[in-house]
Amino acid sequence: MFSLFKSKPLLSSADQEFLIATFKWLLRNFGGDDFYKLTNLVLPTKQHFPDEVDSPEAAAAATFKSVKKHANMDSWDCKLQEQEEDANPLVAPTMVVQNSPTSPNGTFQATENNEVIITYNPALVGQPIQLVATLAHELAHYLTATSPEEPPGGWENWEFATDVAATFMGFGLFMANSAFNFSQYTDTDSQGWKTSRSGYLSETEHIYALALFIKLKKLPDDAAHQYLKPHLKKLMKKVIKEIDKSDLIGELKAVEFKPCVSEKKNAQYEP
């Protein structure tokens, strides 16, 4: 009788299993002191992003510098490049080009000459949360490309695992807040509403990954609350409650760190 009142799990069993398997993969290959002692929860504050800039290019460069620092990848050689701007789909006050091509938020490329190039869409400079999430995702590509062990489900799941890796590196708040955006736009000739998605995981999956990070790092349950979108705060409370009723954190803490860095892969990826 009382089973009728049990809460439905926030994630399907398959989605939860993938998140746990990915965290185990990350802990085996990139855990240890690097994770437990050096990795911090990155917040959208002056303390974490202190630079003052005077141009969009400088803003992108300063953000990338800060993201690399918080990812503990300061010494990793890579070049940041700006992509070409997207074409404007509004061709007249009452005419919009449907399905006009847009550039990806960012790309990661490791060339045959071992040169690593990360690109970003210049439109993101005016969206700092999404810019940080994008740069963190691309650096997570760089990090996980060195793993000798393929991610859960194989390299075809790399993009999904990379989203989790960005949270594992401390950027979970940015990943969750940028996963879905619903906003109003206004210009000289028109106004309306627009939506956008970023990354590969759902908001719930991002919040679940962020909650696992918070629990593994022994942070306060509300460590990210001040900066999360209102509906994500409520979701976080539910996720934390669900995790507390499970043995997931003990299971993850039991994972043994076995570092073994391989050669970087020569490929190009677009999130």
pLDDT in tens, 124-148: 999 999 999 999 999 999 999 999 9
| pLDDT value for 213 | 98
Q: How many CB atoms lie within 10 A of CB 132?
A: 27
Assigned token pair, 232:
């994500």
108 phi, psi to nearest 5 deg: -125, 130
In a domain, 189, yes or no: no
- pLDDT for the residue numbered 97: 41
Question: Would you report the helix, strand and coil content of the chain in percent, each value rounded to 5?
Answer: 45, 15, 40
Nearest CA among 103, 160, 110, 114 for reference residue 137: 160
User: In terms of residues, how long is the chain?
Assistant: 271
Can you tell me the mean pLDDT for 165-190?
A: 73
**SS3 of 117, please?**
strand
Establish if 138 belongs to a structural domain.
Answer: yes
Predicted pLDDT of residue 4: 52
CA–CA distance from 78 to each of 48, 111, 142, 201 (Å)? 21, 11, 9, 26
Asked if residues 213 and 172 have their Cβ atoms less than 8 Å apart, the reply is yes
pLDDT value at position 111? Answer: 83
Predicted TM-score of the model (pTM): 0.84
CA angle centred on 68, ends 212 and 210, rounded to 5°? 15
- Per the CB < 8 A criterion, the answer to whether 252 and 20 are in contact is yes
Q: 158 near 165, Cβ under 8 Å?
A: no
Cα first-last separation, the chain? 46
**Residue 192 host element (H or E):** strand 191-197
User: Structure tokens of 79?
Assistant: 């070049």
Residue 9 belongs to a domain: no
DSSP H stretches of helix in 40-155: 56-70, 128-144
Q: Among 86-95, 104-113, 234-243, 249-258, which is the least confidently predicted range?
A: 86-95
Can you give the pLDDT at residue 155?
Answer: 94
Residue 112: pLDDT band by 50, 70, 90 thresholds?
confident
Beta strands 90-92 and 79-82: pairing type? unpaired
- CA pseudo-torsion sign 75, 78, 81, 83: negative
Q: Is residue 1 part of a domain?
A: no
Share of the chain above pLDDT 90, in %: 73
Give me the domain span that covers residue 31. Answer: 19-83+103-181+194-269
Question: Cα–Cα distance between 158 and 151 in angstroms, integer?
Answer: 6
pLDDT digits (tens, 9 = 90+) for 186-226: 444 433 333 344 557 999 999 999 999 999 999 999 999 99
pLDDT at 104: 85
Closest of 51, 117, 130, 121 to residue 84, by C-alpha: 121
Six token digits for residue 104: 């990806």
In a domain? residue 70: yes
Each residue of 219-231: pLDDT tens digit?
Answer: 999 999 999 999 9
What is the average per-residue pLDDT within 244-256? 97
Residue 188 domain-assigned (yes or no): no
Evaluate if residue 156 carries a pLDDT over 70.
Answer: yes
**Spatial contact of 210 and 236, defined as CB atoms under 8 Å apart:** yes
- Assess if residue 216 is contained within a domain: yes
State how many domains the chain has: 1
Domain-embedded: residue 117: yes
